[in-house]
Amino acid sequence: MEVDIDSVSKGKKTQRIDKILGHLGYGSRSDIKKMVKLGRVTLNDVVVKDSGTQSHPYEDIIAVDGERVVYREFVYLMLNKPAGVISATEDTRDRTVLDLIPDEFRRFSPFPVGRLDKDTEGFLLLTNDGQLAHDLLSPRKHVPKTYEADVLGDVGEREIALFREGVCLDDGYVTLPAKLEIVGHPRQDQDRVLSRIRLTISEGKFHQVKRMFLAAGSKVTYLKRISMGPLSLDDQLALGAFRELTEEELTLLKTYKRASEDGC
């Protein structure tokens, strides 16, 4: 699916072709000059002779070695993070979420907006839009995040009330009010009882969900994030799969950001 997500922020200006290709990770100015010299770059099906040629990155058809180059200033990816990979751009030991993203998108240097623990699954936004990431993560914005979890024991009204009031974590921090919902009935799993819950928090302390349940005397055995701000995990995305945000989702995210700014 080809989604023109950049229409929100498309500029009208032309740019040098070496600048456009440089932004897309095709190399330095001198690398691109060499590519041009070798006749590898075309602009609207005509071989480019000068790497300083002006082009409109969104409207012209630029190709390298016959492959069309799709220009984006920013990328916005929704990933269904599987357990076992870490929310980082690189790591010497573990696979990272970036290892799940093909070169076509990695060339934009996306990074995860916030962190999920290694064993947590679900919604993770990756982007190279630093401002948007900063806004979503700002503690002052209180962007809500909803998680589904399996928790040991029969979770009920006591925990709902505790989390609604704010619970004191192991370091003395008292959490903001959080909404706890119980999904279905507790179930037997071998020799233990598990409750499926949904918890919405509007802050992002380290291991927050797990620590909230520890503070309530219980333990999370499975954790998955299902939404962040106005966006929900696409249930068609298999674990480990990703897709670009749709134009509609991106607009929601950007207007949501503005709405929360207005509220401050």
Catalytically annotated residues: 117
By CB under 6 A, tell whether 199 contacts ligand URA. Answer: no
- The correct pick among 31, 73, 99, 117 for binding ligand URA (CB under 6 A) is 117
Q: Nearer to ligand URA by C-beta: 69 or 169?
A: 169
Q: Nearer to ligand URA by C-beta: 118 or 243?
A: 118
Please report how close the Cβ of residue 29 comes to ligand URA at its closest, in angstroms.
41
By CB under 6 A, tell whether 207 contacts ligand URA. Answer: yes
By CB under 6 A, tell whether 223 contacts ligand URA. Answer: yes
If DSSP states are collapsed to H, E and C, what string results for 140-165? CCCCCEEEEEEEECCCCHHHHHHHHH
Size of the residue set binding ligand URA (CB under 6 A): 8
- The correct pick among 42, 120, 128, 218 for binding ligand URA (CB under 6 A) is 120
Q: Nearer to ligand URA by C-beta: 104 or 206?
A: 206
Q: Nearer to ligand URA by C-beta: 36 or 149?
A: 149
Stretch of residues binding ligand URA (CB under 6 A), selected from 46-54, 102-110, 114-122, 166-174? 114-122
CB atoms within 10 A of CB 189: 11
By CB under 6 A, tell whether 233 contacts ligand URA. Answer: no
By CB under 6 A, tell whether 203 contacts ligand URA. Answer: no
Q: Nearer to ligand URA by C-beta: 120 or 218?
A: 120
By CB under 6 A, tell whether 179 contacts ligand URA. Answer: no
Residues that bind ligand URA (CB under 6 A): 116-117, 120, 207-210, 223
